[in-house]
Amino acid sequence: MIIIKPTSTMPLIPETGADEPLTSSEQGKLWTTYMGNTMGICVLSHMLEHAENEEIRSILAYALEIAEQLAQTIRDIFAKENYPIPVGFTADDLITGAPRLFADDFCLFYLKYVGKAGLSLYSIAVPLMTRPDLREFFTQCVTLTLSMINRVNEALLAKGLIVKPPYIPYPKRVDFIRKQSYLNGFFGDVRPLQAMEITHLYDNIENNAISKAVLIAFSQVARSEQAKSYFVRGRELAEKHHAHFSKILERENLFAPPILDPFITTSTAAPFSDKLMLFHKLDMYTMRVRSYGNAISLSARHDLVEKYGRFLLQVGNYVEDGANILIEHGWLEEPPQAADRDALVRH
């Protein structure tokens, strides 16, 4: 069993006790987790280097230690399996001594965002793992990430930084849907938003506000014009989606999370490589595909489904263009994949 405890002790060596080879799901989830956490180590290291508030420093240190422990544990698993360890992101992708790029308070919003992304990755992994040691590993990933998110939310609430999801009245009785007009969104009798529709609008507004702020930061410090242009385009996309979703809530007299642009400094010196920043935005927008798809599945009004569907296409195109830039520069590592039988025949 793999036991992970975020402490300052030496990296843990997992005692897998498993003779079975890694399945495709296990390879894929371990690989993706490794890439995300090695990237996170770089970003959190920069934030921790400049954080001044003691509580925020403590939370950042905790999150950084979790990322380091997870990355080291995966390296140990791969080593035991004689599996090639991905390059991921290293000290070469972090420029120490670069000026502060993010205000202290923004670090809390960032941790909340990446915590949600981590939970999505790890929680889906648990039921897909057939080896008990890896199921336990991803269960602990969930537990540690939840622990970090709870600390982040408590700090945000204590600082008065959280705009809570809108309040709606309690229903007066249990009722059932009687008319097909419940699904209307464009014409006819359009009902008010129901709770889950509000929930996912709020979540996606918050995600776009955080993403836009990160894109502002990256566009200021990117070295290549190609990367700068890509980040500016992403910033405009996030701003557009934030505005559209916010208007839907505002039309029903419900408030939306605000933008977070003022939490980004005016620094133009890069603390990260262009490779890391491009991959970071590719990763964030890939998660946006999942969050929009999830919102579609829980929205009944036609206008919401249409908007999410249209925005999904825009996000998908943005992700593809980012992947092409990474491929062009030889920066996009190839994930584990099935054997190419046709190529083997031709060999």
Query: 279-329, pLDDT tens digit by residue?
Result: 999 999 988 999 999 999 999 899 999 999 999 999 999 999 999 999 999
- What is the chain's Cα-based Rg? 22
Cα–Cα dist 205/244, whole Å: 9
Residue matched to tokens 């419900």: 254
Residue among 4, 3, 16, 13 at smallest CA distance from 131: 16
Residues 136-167 have pLDDT tens digits of: 999 999 999 999 999 999 999 999 998 899 99
Estimate the crossing angle of helix 274-297 against helix 24-50, to 10 degrees.
120
Does residue 9 surpass a pLDDT of 50? Answer: no
Measure CA 284 to chain center: 5
Residues 220-272 have pLDDT tens digits of: 999 999 999 999 999 999 999 999 999 999 999 999 999 999 999 999 999 99
Q: Which pLDDT value is given to residue 303?
A: 92
Better-scored residue on pLDDT, 18 or 281: 281
Cα–Cα dist 188/182, whole Å: 10
Over pLDDT 90: what percentage of the chain? 84
Beta-carbon contacts of 138 under 8 Å, excluding residues fewer than 6 positions away, are: 29, 122, 125, 126, 129
Q: Which pLDDT value is given to residue 344?
A: 74
Q: Which pLDDT value is given to residue 10?
A: 37
- Report residue 175's pLDDT band, with 50, 70 and 90 as the boundaries: confident
Q: Which domains does the chain have, with CATH numbers?
A: 24-158 (1.20.1260.10), 189-328 (1.20.1260.10)
Check: CB of residue 102 under 8 Å from CB of residue 149: no
Cα–Cα dist 182/192, whole Å: 9
Q: Which pLDDT value is given to residue 12?
A: 44
- 3-class SS letters over 305-322: HHHHHHHHHHHHHHHHHH
- Report residue 3's pLDDT band, with 50, 70 and 90 as the boundaries: low
Cα–Cα dist 284/296, whole Å: 19
- Report residue 6's pLDDT band, with 50, 70 and 90 as the boundaries: low
Average pLDDT, the chain: 92
CA separation (Å) from 260 to 104, 212, 249, 345?
12, 8, 18, 54
Cα–Cα dist 83/100, whole Å: 37
Does residue 11 surpass a pLDDT of 60? Answer: no
Q: Most distant CA pair in the chain: distance in Å?
A: 71
**How much is the average pLDDT of 41-57?**
98
Q: Which pLDDT value is given to residue 252?
A: 92
10 Å CB burial of residue 58 (0-12, 13-18, 19+) is: middle
Beta-carbon contacts of 212 under 8 Å, excluding residues fewer than 6 positions away, are: 235, 238, 239, 242, 259, 260, 261
CA separation (Å) from 334 to 40, 272, 317, 341?
19, 21, 20, 18
Estimate the crossing angle of helix 132-158 against helix 24-50, to 10 degrees.
30
- Report residue 2's pLDDT band, with 50, 70 and 90 as the boundaries: low
pTM, full prediction = 0.92
- Report residue 13's pLDDT band, with 50, 70 and 90 as the boundaries: very low
Residue among 88, 40, 34, 33 at smallest CA distance from 331: 88
Q: Which pLDDT value is given to residue 339?
A: 81
| Neighbour-count burial for 141-174, b at 16+ CB within 10 Å, e otherwise | bbebbeebbebbeebbeeeeebeebbeeeeeeee
Does residue 20 surpass a pLDDT of 80? Answer: yes
